Amino acid sequence: MSEPTDRPMADATRVVTAGRRKEWTQGIVSAPVWRASTILYDSVADLRAGAKRDPHHRLFYGRKGTPTQWSLADALTSLEPGAEGTFLYPSGVAAIAAALLSVLSPGDELLLVDSAYDPTRSMATGLLARLGIATRYYDPMIGAGIADLIGDKTRAIFMESPGSLTFEVQDVPAIVAAAKARGVVTLLDNTWATPLCFPAIAHGVDLSILACTKYIVGHSDVMLGSVTAAPGHFARLRDTSFQLGQVTSPDDAWLGSRGLRTMAVRLAQHRDSALAIARWLTDRPEIATVLHPALPSCPGHEYFVRDFKGATGLFGFVFAGGDDAARAAFIDTLELFGIGYSWGGFESLAIPIDAARYRSVTTRDDAGPMVRLQIGLEDAGDLIEDLERGLAAFREVRG
Ligand SMILES: *Cc1c(COP(=O)(O)O)cnc(C)c1O
């Protein structure tokens, strides 16, 4: 058998072959867990030569990684055509922090999408503010209009598309074009789409961030993050991450690689079930709006159709009236949907979303309370029956 080459291949093939270089796997199908802190050298001369070698992809000291982490990082790079490299982090939030700190310095300004994940907002108003980095929020639907917000101090634009709470799909190519014209760096939280549905670097994004905790791992049992960089952005990302002492455990990286191998088939099932359920909800009288990027009722649906290769399994909906108690009755009645944060695992989840709380420059005018569903790998028909029971409980409390 020959080693896989760089020739173009479908995503399902890529996730199976990626990162399995023989020097790391030693011929074992999956790169094993290489645990290490100390690496031993043959001589003083060898030790000194080791310090001068590029620490990436060469054993040097455990904090700089082993073949287990490099295998996953390389696999993620190869899912993003045009990317230079990937660094792994012990969580998605750690990945967001390192990406931002690799770009921003005191006195700089960050443009942050108003629909961003709440911990990203907290990082901007907390850590970044303390370092003298200002944040301006922008409307997720701003598109090319972002050009008007770019000032002399603007150093970076952070996007999340679709937003993981309210699902607005951003016009990423228009924002990237405006940023490039002014020498501004673009970052995208690509956790919802993954590179399989939205190859971010190919769309001109400079730093593509994943909470691998979600679809890469896929089993709700590991915290993991990654940042994949376009050419010219990787060295600074890696230096910043080493200076922060970031290292992901080889065991967690191994579980990430294990998850990645089945990601294409898992995502296809998440996509099909989520779309079937979203369509079913659209026809229900209790529901005012379904916020699924593949449906026209979702803001930015036209960009989804234009730019994405597919959808995944997370979406929201807004009740037609009702209050917090009716929504709680709906969620509490569900038997197959767990109540908990995170998503991307094999199991379905439902949580209440109070989007207006996390807004600075845009407002929401929702007809009723909002719910976010993560559609897992259970049978879609069973999930619909469960939702049916939940809606009956909603009606009973709403009156
Ligand atoms: C979960 C999530 C993160 C953070 O990932 P963790 O691994 O939980 O730290 C970042 N962005 C989005 C969109 C997420 O859903």
pLDDT digits (tens, 9 = 90+) for 19-40: 999 988 999 999 999 999 999 9
Query: Is 98 a pocket residue for ligand 1 (Cβ < 6 Å)?
Result: no
Query: Is 211 a pocket residue for ligand 1 (Cβ < 6 Å)?
Result: yes
Q: State the helix-helix crossing angle for 92-101 and 234-243, rounded to 10 degrees.
A: 110
Residue 6 in this model has a pLDDT that exceeds 70: no
Percentage of the chain modeled with pLDDT above 70? 98
- Ranking 77-86, 92-101, 356-365 by mean pLDDT, the lowest is 356-365
Task: Report the DSSP beta bridge partners of residue 185.
Answer: 156
pLDDT of residue 135: 98
Structure tokens at 42: 């043959």
* CATH class belonging to 11-260: alpha beta
Catalytic positions, please?
63, 117, 189, 214
pLDDT digits (tens, 9 = 90+) for 155-191: 999 999 999 999 999 999 999 999 999 999 999 999 9
Percentage of the chain modeled with pLDDT above 90? 91
What is the mean predicted confidence (pLDDT) over 202-228? Answer: 98
Which segments of the chain belong to CATH 3.40.640.10? 11-260
Reduced to 3 states (helix: H, G, I; strand: E, B; else coil), residue 87 is: strand
Å from CA of 192 to ligand 1 middle: 9
pLDDT of residue 50: 82
Residue 139 in this model has a pLDDT that exceeds 90: yes
What is the mean predicted confidence (pLDDT) over 296-303? Answer: 98
Residue 5 in this model has a pLDDT that exceeds 90: no
Answer yes or no: CATH 3.90.1150.10 is held by domain 263-398. yes
pLDDT of residue 358: 86
pLDDT of residue 3: 65
Rounded to whole angstroms, the Cα distance separating 373 from 370 reads 10
- pTM for the model stands at 0.97
The one-letter amino acid at 170: Q
Q: Which atom of ligand 1 is nearest to 93's Cα?
A: 9
Structure tokens at 285: 């009288």
Q: Which residue from 38, 12, 65 is spatially nearest to 252, judged by alpha carbons? A: 65
What is the mean predicted confidence (pLDDT) over 287-293? Answer: 98
pLDDT digits (tens, 9 = 90+) for 37-76: 999 999 999 999 888 877 667 899 999 999 999 999 999 9
Q: Could you give the strand order of the β-sheet that contains 314-319, starting from the edge strand earlier in sequence?
A: 287-291, 314-319, 370-374, 349-353
DSSP 316-345: EEEESS--HHHHHHHHHH-SSSB--S---S
Which segments of the chain belong to CATH 3.90.1150.10? 263-398
Å from CA of 95 to ligand 1 middle: 9
The one-letter amino acid at 274: A
pLDDT of residue 112: 98
**Phi, psi of 209, rounded to the nearest 5 degrees:** -110, 135
CB 196 within 8 A of CB 76: no
Task: Kindly report the average pLDDT of the chain as a whole number.
Answer: 96
Rounded to whole angstroms, the Cα distance separating 356 from 179 reads 28
Query: Is 93 a pocket residue for ligand 1 (Cβ < 6 Å)?
Result: yes
Sign of the CA dihedral 287, 291, 295, 297?
A: positive
**Phi, psi of 228, rounded to the nearest 5 degrees:** -110, 130
Q: Which residue from 204, 208, 140, 141 is spatially nearest to 178, judged by alpha carbons? A: 204
- Ranking 43-52, 211-220, 225-234, 240-249 by mean pLDDT, the lowest is 43-52
Pure H helices in the chain: 11-17, 22-25, 44-52, 67-78, 92-101, 118-123, 129-130, 172-181, 194-197, 234-243, 250-261, 263-282, 301-307, 324-333, 380-398
Q: Are strands 314-319 and 225-229 parallel, antiparallel or unpaired?
A: unpaired
Q: Which atom of ligand 1 is nearest to 223's Cα?
A: 7
Calculate the dihedral angle through the C-alpha atoms of 192, 370, 391, 285, rounding to the nearest 10 degrees. Answer: -100
CB 339 within 8 A of CB 311: no
CB 15 within 8 A of CB 261: yes
Query: Is 189 a pocket residue for ligand 1 (Cβ < 6 Å)?
Result: yes
CB 209 within 8 A of CB 83: no
The one-letter amino acid at 258: R
**Which residue has a Cα nearest atom 5 of ligand 1?**
92
pLDDT confidence band for 4 (50 / 70 / 90): low
